[in-house]
Structure 1
Amino acid sequence: MTTDVVRARPWFEAGTWGGDWMKEHIPQLNQHEVNYAWSFELIAPENGVVLESNKNLLEISFDWLMELQTTAVLGRDAERFGTEFPIRFDFLDTFEGGNLSIQCHPSLEYIQTNFGENITQDETYYMLDCKDDAKVYLGFQDDIDPAAFKTALESSVEENKAIDIEKYVSSFPAHKHDLFLIPNGTIHSSGVNNMVLEISATPYIFTFKMYDWVRLDLDGNPRPINIDHAFNNLNFERKGDRVAEELISKPAVIHASNGMRIIDLPTHKDHFYKIERLEFEKGIALETKNQCHVLMLVEGSSVLVKTKNGRTVRFNYAETFIVPAAAGTYEIINEGGTEAKVVRAFIK
């Protein structure tokens, strides 16, 4: 199994800010659901792998695969991460929905000390799709006053009143295929009308929400707000011009030949993973170099992925797949009539 391409079984969930992009683009989903906020494409503690034999199906936890074949999956990175799969892909859908909460994630020391995790959620937003008015909240305004901001947040909770969040938090227009960098401690949120591919490190779920637009969840209850935890982790130096300079990736072509390009999407120094975009008209041959690759088709209709043992699997637009380190070499073949674009993430 670990010499072939693998797709984890995703799961989908509605949410108070959820949108309708997934409903429209994935017709197999229940169209009667109120919305879809998340798709957990690959979050190892949450996803399973489905095995088939003689038309019988058996789903096992992705963690089982890691316990049994860690080195085959992660290759040279197995010693560093052990049985924890380090990279996650998930969707955040706000098309015709709402803004995500204003939030941050804990520092490595904080999550280890307070929650017993080994890694923290240094993440990115890759913009799979968006409307013309889409934006991302990222970093602070240059004149941020931390004490005044905290007072405004606490008053919002106590008095159930909205605040002008852009008085404190910067926002940037979002465009298809942009990459926003969100290392731990960075204040952030996706605005409405985005379809975000969130590429991240994989701890469990520790998100500190500071402001949730004075709204209730789908059951009519307030969502948890964690102002104190957030202020123990916020980096107030990520403000003003530094945000655009340091937290918006600047793509660069690192290889081009025979109708294909490999584009580096530089990540922050705190991210332990790299992100590249593979663009090709017909196909591209790749090597794992003893590392695991996590990939998604982000433009095009479908691709075939062929591993060196001869197995070929089709993946459609917006589907995540994993090429384990033990696969060695693989080829991605474009089945569409236009250029295909595939995002690839792997450990630095």
Structure 2
Amino acid sequence: MEPLFMEPVFQEKIWGGDSLQTEFGFELPSENIGEDWAISAHPHGVSTIQNGPFKGQTLDQLWQEHQELFGNQHGDAFPLLVKILDAADDLSVQVHPDDAYALKHEGEFGKTECWYIIDAKPGAQIIYGHTARTREELAQMIREERWDDLFNKVTVKKGDFFYVPSGTIHAIGAGIMILETQQSSDTTYRVYDYDRKDDQGNTRELHIEQSVDVTTVPARDTTLSISETKHGKSSVITYLQTEFFNVYEWQVHGTLQLNQQAPYTLATVTEGYGKLVVEDKTYELTMGTSFILPNEIKNWELQGEATLIASEPGEMA
């Protein structure tokens, strides 16, 4: 069985730039590409398999027709989505619903996500959480546009990691590139968008009522228990283990041998280069390479000097 390598799906955004080309070497269709949907079965951007017996097929098709690849994890939709985001400008301040609200109002999963900071310009910031103590205070602060009082700002650097559960007010700031692991959902409620206009001179839609409905109040503590396991000169950092997904950093310095821990594993190279060895077959890895290790692959070896962010489905995925 071969790994499943993914063709990137690029999304143009008002806040996007060209770093996915200058830093990762992708050929971009425009100068305002904000997102690479690296591993996705979501209908708004479906990945296509690049190699092997399933070359040319889409990930959503494999999920429906070849459940054996995913350990027979029966479900209506592939549960995870991995993106690389290039924020040349500030993203809107937003919040995502949980499963119950999203399924009722949007007909899809809710959106819990997490961010690995691939790179950040000096002083770059994210908005992460809020100060309101009650839902009524939240609504009032939004109504009065008391943004500086409401939003918590955090300065970030390369290698930082953030957990962003549904209900968390958040925004990625200008000058930041991240690897995002999330539930397979495209539901976003905008709280604030800096009053900016699109190419037609229109402001983007805000979703104040929904935002107040779904925001967790008061903001929850998302302190993480991050651990590192050494494998010679290489290492595995465990960032997160939740009901939706488990997320790891694979630091490869020479070689790193790993065994399957879940029905399938997703991975993206965020820095460096190297090789993936599966059953004596070798695959080249460069920045931006994304792949799935399906259920039949029980162990593999990584070689080279590289950083990969990997994820697995959680118990509820």
Structure 1 residue 60 displacement after superposition: 2.9
**Aligned residue type for 2:219:** R
Q: TM-score, normalised by structure 2?
A: 0.89
Change beyond 3 A, Cα 1:50–1:260: closer
1:21 aligns with 19
- Structure 1 segment 1-348 matched on structure 2, within 5 A: 3-30=1-28, 33-45=30-42, 46-50=45-49, 59-72=56-69, 74-75=70-71, 78-79=73-74, 82-94=75-87, 97-117=88-108, 119-141=109-131, 144=133, 146-151=135-140, 153-154=142-143, 163=145, 165-203=147-185, 205-238=186-219, 242=221, 246-247=222-223, 249-253=224-228, 255-267=229-241, 269=242, 271-289=243-261, 291-300=263-272, 302-308=273-279, 310-334=280-304, 336=305, 340-348=306-314
Q: Is the 8 A contact 1:16 1:216 kept in 2?
A: no
Identity %: 20
Deviations 1:110-150 (A, max 9, x none): 11222222x32110111111111111111112x55644543
The 1-side partners of 2:261 and 2:141 are apart by: 50
The 2-side partners of 1:179 and 1:36 are apart by: 23
The 2-side partners of 1:16 and 1:207 are apart by: 15
1:158 aligns with none
The 1-side partners of 2:50 and 2:16 are apart by: 31
State the structure with more CA Rg: 1
| Partner SS, residue 211 of structure 2 | helix
**Aligned residue type for 1:226:** H
Q: Is the 8 A contact 2:7 2:50 kept in 1?
A: no
Change beyond 3 A, Cα 1:279–1:128: same
Q: Is the 8 A contact 2:231 2:256 kept in 1?
A: no
Deviations 1:202-228 (A, max 9, x none): 13x110111111011244322121111
Q: Is the 8 A contact 2:20 2:26 kept in 1?
A: no
Q: Is the 8 A contact 1:289 1:325 kept in 2?
A: no
The 1-side partners of 2:46 and 2:256 are apart by: 28
The 1-side partners of 2:302 and 2:233 are apart by: 13
Deviations 1:19-45 (A, max 9, x none): 3321312444248x2322111111212
Q: Is the 8 A contact 2:24 2:288 kept in 1?
A: no
Structure 1 residue 48 displacement after superposition: 3.1
C-alpha root-mean-square deviation of aligned residues, in Å? 2.4
Q: TM-score, normalised by structure 1?
A: 0.82
Q: Is the 8 A contact 1:23 1:36 kept in 2?
A: no
Unaligned runs of 5+ in 2: none
| Partner SS, residue 89 of structure 1 | strand
Structure 1 residue 11 displacement after superposition: 1.8
Structure 1 residue 103 displacement after superposition: 0.6
* Structure showing the higher strand proportion among its residues: 2
The 2-side partners of 1:6 and 1:52 are apart by: 7
Change beyond 3 A, Cα 1:139–1:347: same
Structure 1 residue 185 displacement after superposition: 0.7
Number of aligned residues: 311
Deviations 1:253-308 (A, max 9, x none): 1x2232221111135x5x521111122311111122452111112232x1211212
| Partner SS, residue 159 of structure 2 | coil
Structure 1 residue 14 displacement after superposition: 2.4
